[in-house]
Structure 1
Amino acid sequence: MILGLLRAVWMIFWMFWITLFIGGSAVILALFGVRGHIFPVMSRQWARASLWVSGSRAVGHGLERIVPGQPLIVVANHVSWFDIFAIAGMLPVDFHFVAKKELERVPIFGLAWRAAGHISIDRSNRERAVQSLRKAGEQMRAQKSVVVIFAEGTRSRTGRLQPFKKGAFVLAQETGIPILPTVVTGSYDIMRPDTFLVRPATIHVYFEPPVDPAGLKGDELMERVRQVFVERLEETDSLPPEDSAPAVPAGEG
């Protein structure tokens, strides 16, 4: 446990300086009117550095399915902050995350988030949330880029797959852009919810074959994509049982 706490202190210390340097640079560039490819590059470097200081690494499978100039909606599961580091650090094309608006309030990070053009969703206001998704669609078509959406809307507290939100699937149907199911395994135990312990591990990111929304109704599209997650998680033995033990609180175990 002491080693896990020391790793956490080490990681937080370096992540502060990494975020200050890269995030601060992004804000300054944005203030001077800089736009474009530089921000995904900076996001990618921030993610890789954050993963490195935790002592963990990420391995990608199916990266050849992501082709420059081909818009995709990357729909991923979410069990840890490290999912973000793994996906952002490995995407070989320009990308933008779609996430809750509350991230904008995080010091330094929030300013860099907006400067880099990532898209915030106000989950308390359905109309604004829809507008944000439409903005994401317009951005993808204009920039031929990739957006990343966590299908469950928030992190799973148990490691199990939660019910999917409809936003990503509505976006796919409105734009006709394929969904790329992206299954993340191995990240849950690195830093479990409600703990400050860091346990280095290898994260695997599986970029599955794209699912074309054409001819599929909203629920049909969502169920087809969800089945991809269930099958991959079962195959990799990464789907905890229903009665899996909760995370050990900080200071215990």
Structure 2
Amino acid sequence: MTPSPEGPVAPAARPRDLSRAQPAAVAAGAPPPPVGIRKAWIALRSAVYLLLLAVTVAPYSIFSLLCIVTRHPLRYWLITGWPKTALWLARVVCGIRYEVTGWENLPDGPAVLLPKHQSAWETIWLIASMPRPSSFVYKRELHRIPFFGWGIATLGMISIDRARGTDAFEQVVEQGQKRLAEGWYVIIFPEGTRTAPGTHTRYKTGGARLAVRAGVPAVPIALNSGELWPRKAFLKIPGTITVSIGEPVDTRGRSAGEVARMTERWIETEMRRIAPHRYPQESAAGNG
């Protein structure tokens, strides 16, 4: 399979397998740690990038409020111009590119996407690049953030009220099934939080449970964005992020636990393929 393009994806078209990405530095090993002048240059580019994001989010958010009078999915495609802009700026300003394999594995209908979560990059990429409207699950408190929160509120994504405690998952199911019935993708990070490259936390079954209840496929996605866009870090390191989309898991006749185990097994196995330097002991054992 060949890598896909980095540019914005038209809502009616499946992304084609063409790429402008440079050869992936992270595939053979971790990018060299930034030091000295290189670190200063990367810091400057990162600062410019974050400044441009801050400058562009306000007008896009105001635009999203004006788009409230338009109908879905037109409103969705109009508003998602900002994530596409953010990806373009990441490439032009920070030198962060990406390559994707497995576009053909994305279902033509509704599905629950279960991606690896290493940084904020994939939250931008997933919204900017998926060929169908896609919804995250997020905390309703984000609506209080000026501009950014207002923009999210107009996208029709799944918001949960954490004050309702154990009822939160039922909120996800109720809203998630509505989005799936409309043909959307619902995106749920199975680990629940960002993890550092080479690590993982316990995979939760929430996304698998939603897929089983709705009777839609679950799609595992592996990626190594944390190599270039580290969590809780300011620097955005130049290079190429690798994304691999797995074959959809048929949830019919399977329990949520079985679906969760299948997706976890595929993602963690694929992570060892796209980032073998993060698992040196396992690589050495395999070569022994």
Task: Tell whether the structures are fold-level matches, with TM greater than 0.5.
Answer: yes
Aligned to 1:233: 271
Secondary structure at the aligned position of 1:28 is classed as helix
Aligned equivalent of 1:121, options 157, 160, 181: 160
Matching residue's letter, 2:123: I
Provide the rounded CA distance (Å) in 2 between the counterparts of 1:100 and 1:239.
Answer: 35
Whether the 8 Å contact between 1:87 and 1:205 is mirrored in structure 2 is no
Whether the 8 Å contact between 1:43 and 1:88 is mirrored in structure 2 is no
Structure 1 residue 106 displacement after superposition:
3.0
Aligned to 2:137: 98
Structure 1 residue 67 displacement after superposition:
4.5
Provide the rounded CA distance (Å) in 1 between the counterparts of 2:256 and 2:169.
Answer: 17
**Residues matched between the structures, number:** 238
Aligned equivalent of 1:52, options 88, 112, 115: 88
Structure 1 residue 174 displacement after superposition:
0.8
The TM-score, its normalising length taken from structure 1, stands at 0.85
User: Which protein shows a greater Rg?
Assistant: 2
Aligned to 1:215: 253
Whether the 8 Å contact between 1:184 and 1:205 is mirrored in structure 2 is yes
Aligned to 1:144: 183
Gap regions ≥5 residues in structure 1: 244-253
Secondary structure at the aligned position of 1:126 is classed as helix
| Percentage of pairs with the same residue | 24
Whether the 8 Å contact between 1:166 and 1:222 is mirrored in structure 2 is yes
The TM-score, its normalising length taken from structure 2, stands at 0.75
Provide the rounded CA distance (Å) in 2 between the counterparts of 1:196 and 1:205.
Answer: 22
Cα–Cα, structure 1 residues 140 and 236, in superposed 2: closer, same or farther, change >3 Å? same
1:65 correspondence with 2:90: no
Aligned equivalent of 2:73, options 37, 41, 44: 37
Deviation per CA, 1:131-153: give whole Å up to 9, x if none.
23321112211x11111111111
Aligned equivalent of 1:172, options 211, 215, 231: 211
Provide the rounded CA distance (Å) in 2 between the counterparts of 1:242 and 1:163.
Answer: 21
Structure 1 residue 47 displacement after superposition:
1.8
Secondary structure at the aligned position of 2:263 is classed as helix
Aligned equivalent of 2:172, options 132, 135, 145: 132
Gap regions ≥5 residues in structure 2: 1-38, 282-288
Whether the 8 Å contact between 2:272 and 2:278 is mirrored in structure 1 is no
Structure 1 residue 202 displacement after superposition:
1.6
